[in-house]
Amino acid sequence: MKAKLLFTFFAALIFLCIKPAMADWPFTEDFEGSDEFPAGWAVYNQAGSATWEITSNNNHTPDGSKSAWHNYASGMQDGWLVTPQISMPTEGYFFLTFWHFNGDATWYGKNSVLVSTGSHDPADNEYVEVWTVPEVTNQWVQVFIDLEAYAGEDIYIAFRYEGDFAHFWFVDDIALGEEVDASPVMVVTPLEVEQSVGQTGTSTNRINIHNEGIGTLTYDIDFEYVDEDGWLEVNPLSGSVGANATQIIDLTFHGMGLDFGSYSAIITVTSNDTENPEVTIPVTMNVIDV
């Protein structure tokens, strides 16, 4: 009986020793501690010589000095930075937010975020990609990812860098579970458009619909002529814009068959932004002799 109890005790002890570190909820990390990644974080180099490190070369945290980064190197690089295991509650706020900065953006390879509900090791092929971007800029940008689909599960989150002598990537101020305003925020530019066009030709311009919020912005566009009609094309007339993204609206002006002079129209953009649901844009086309 004593031997059986002793075996049970040691088995439980071994289980506790090998059980992955569990993160606090809400989960936050700004890498402002030591020069080593905090307990429970893991780095996996699937390919290449470069690796994830904590650096003082760049920082986003107010009054801070550090961030996580992955440098470029010759040959294909595939580096994973994996969080401790995070136990997601069944209710609450589920947006993963972080700030990131890309150096040498012209040479961008790929950045992505993935989630695993099983193994923390990428070699086990249990991660699912939940975010990536097709292009980047050399500035700090905040990302919002809705992870509500993982409510009630234990997960690992991986920041994956890929590239062959490509860009370098800084990540900072990571948070999951904190309260955020998930409303879309519509910003339309410019607020007035004037375009000249030859009497026998066409010309183009554009407006931009930017979503400064977190939730998906949906929009519809209508336009009406003040005088002569038929000279303006607007495309697309409806759509959606993700967080921190921009939709370009193409405007085509037709001068064919019109007298010299100015022609006016009003473009109206309506959206699901409750604070700014409608924007009107005066449009003027000047038909000139070219």
Residue 15: predicted pLDDT? 38
Q: Strand pairing of 245-254 and 202-211?
A: antiparallel
Identify the CATH class of 22-176.
mainly beta
Residue 215: predicted pLDDT? 87
In the sheet with 245-254, reading across from the earlier edge strand, the strands are 186-189, 202-211, 245-254, 232-235
The CATH topology of domain 186-288 is Immunoglobulin-like (2.60.40)
Is the pLDDT at 114 greater than 90, yes or no? yes
CA R_g for the chain: 26
pTM > 0.75: yes or no = no
Q: Strand pairing of 278-288 and 193-198?
A: parallel
Residue 135: predicted pLDDT? 76
* Ramachandran sector of residue 8 (left: φ over 0; alpha: ψ -120 to 50; beta: rest): alpha
HSE-up of residue 175 (Cα within 13 Å, Cβ side): 14
HSE-up of residue 71 (Cα within 13 Å, Cβ side): 10
Q: For all residues of the chain together, what is the average pLDDT?
A: 92
Share of the chain above pLDDT 70, in %: 93
Question: How far apart (Å, rounded) are the C-alpha atoms in residues 217 and 211?
Answer: 6
Residue 21: predicted pLDDT? 67
Average pLDDT over residues 248-264: 97
Domain residue ranges of the chain, discontinuous segments joined by +: 22-176, 186-288
**74: Cβ–Cβ under 8 A, 6 or more apart, which residues?**
164, 165
